């Protein structure tokens, strides 16, 4: 039992070290990971690393899962720190947390929200971690509806859009009105577009006051969603 426990700790330590080296490669080479290069940096023969990650895609998936969970932790903690009744305050807190995490972890953010990695298809077990940040917004919408502080917009949606949103809502928040979900999705996708523009240099030489610009843009999104 002791020997088994020791082997498990050694294996876990090796996996953590491999991921740490891989994250350094993400920062310099992007998502073009090479198991051979990671093994070389660790002083291992390339065949040894396959005992821990059978393929490059397995290592990428491990990094993606870890990054989604770290972002989810940051967003959920920010939301939890604000009074439940302050819907707009919760929205701003979650947006700022997502931006702060991205600026502190640009390589991991690019892995999640940058260009797709050629030849890589994310497995199903990435879906739940990827859903954690947008589900924080859904929680804000649901709480606002429950106590009457948030009303769904009175608007008609194109039937294909309404059907898609109804199916989406049925999976994670039954009863959420489709027009409100449409506004929420617009705000959330605009948020990540805003973060990506900043992180990938699209605002360089254009917007020098980034904090103020971000807060103003997220306030406009809150207005669109209808947050009081």
Q: What's the average model confidence in pLDDT over 124-137?
A: 92
- Find the mean pLDDT for residues 68-76: 97
CATH number belonging to domain 1-54: 1.10.10
- Residue 115's pLDDT band (cuts 50, 70, 90): confident
Q: Is 137 exposed, middle or buried (0-12, 13-18, 19+ CB in 10 A)?
A: buried
d(CA 188, CA 80): 18
Region 144-160 average pLDDT: 91
| Higher-confidence position of 13 and 74 | 74
H-run or E-run covering 185: helix 178-199
Decide if 89 contacts 82 (C-beta within 8 A): yes
Sequence spans of domains, the chain: 1-54, 64-225
Q: How far is the C-alpha of 11 from the C-alpha of 227, rounded, in Å?
A: 48
Give the contacts of 7 (CB within 8 A, at least 6 positions apart): none
For 54-105, strand residue ranges (E) read: none
Range among 38-52, 65-79, 115-129, 140-154 with highest mean pLDDT value: 65-79
Q: Looking up tokens 């705000």, which residue turns up?
A: 187
CA nearest 31: which of 126, 112, 130? 112
- Percent of all residues in the chain with a pLDDT value above 90, rounded to a whole number: 64
pLDDT for 1 equals 59
pLDDT band at 18 (very low <50, low <70, confident <90, very high): confident
- Same fold for the domain at 1-54 and the one at 64-225? no
User: How confident is the model over 19-27, as a mean pLDDT?
Assistant: 86
Q: What is 64-225's CATH number? A: 1.10.357.10
Find the helix packing angle between 2-29 and 56-80, rounded to 10°: 90
24-68 confidence digits (pLDDT tens) = 888 887 777 888 888 888 888 878 888 888 988 999 999 999 999
| pLDDT the model gives residue 3 | 56
pLDDT at 203 over 70: yes
Residue 116 has pLDDT above 90, yes or no: no
Q: How many residues does this entry show for the chain?
A: 228
Average pLDDT over every residue of 143-166? 92
DSSP strands (E only) in 34-174? none
């Amino acid at each position: 039992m002791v020997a088994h426990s020791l082997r498990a700790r050694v294996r876990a330590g090796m996996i953590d070290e491999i991921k740490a080296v891989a994250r350094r490669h993400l920062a310099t080479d992007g998502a073009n990971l090479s198991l051979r290069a990671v093994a070389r940096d660790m002083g291992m023969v390339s065949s040894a690393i396959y005992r821990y990650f059978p393929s490059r895609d397995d290592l990428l998936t491990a990094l993606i899962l870890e990054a989604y969970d770290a972002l989810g932790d940051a967003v959920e903690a920010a939301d939890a720190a604000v009074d439940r009744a302050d819907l707009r305050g919760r929205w701003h807190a979650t947006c700022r947390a997502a931006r702060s995490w991205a600026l502190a972890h640009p390589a991991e953010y690019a892995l999640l929200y940058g260009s797709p990695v050629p030849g890589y298809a994310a497995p199903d077990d990435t879906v739940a971690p990827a859903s954690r940040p947008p589900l924080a917004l859904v929680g804000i919408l649901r709480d606002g509806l429950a106590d009457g502080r948030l009303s769904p917009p009175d608007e008609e949606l194109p039937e294909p859009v309404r059907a898609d949103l109804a199916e989406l809502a049925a999976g994670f928040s039954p009863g959420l009105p489709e027009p409100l979900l449409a506004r929420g999705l617009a705000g959330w996708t605009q948020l990540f577009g805003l973060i990506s523009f900043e992180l990938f240099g699209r605002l360089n030489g254009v917007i020098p006051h980034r904090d103020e610009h971000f807060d103003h843009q997220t306030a406009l999104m809150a207005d669109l969603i209808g947050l009081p």
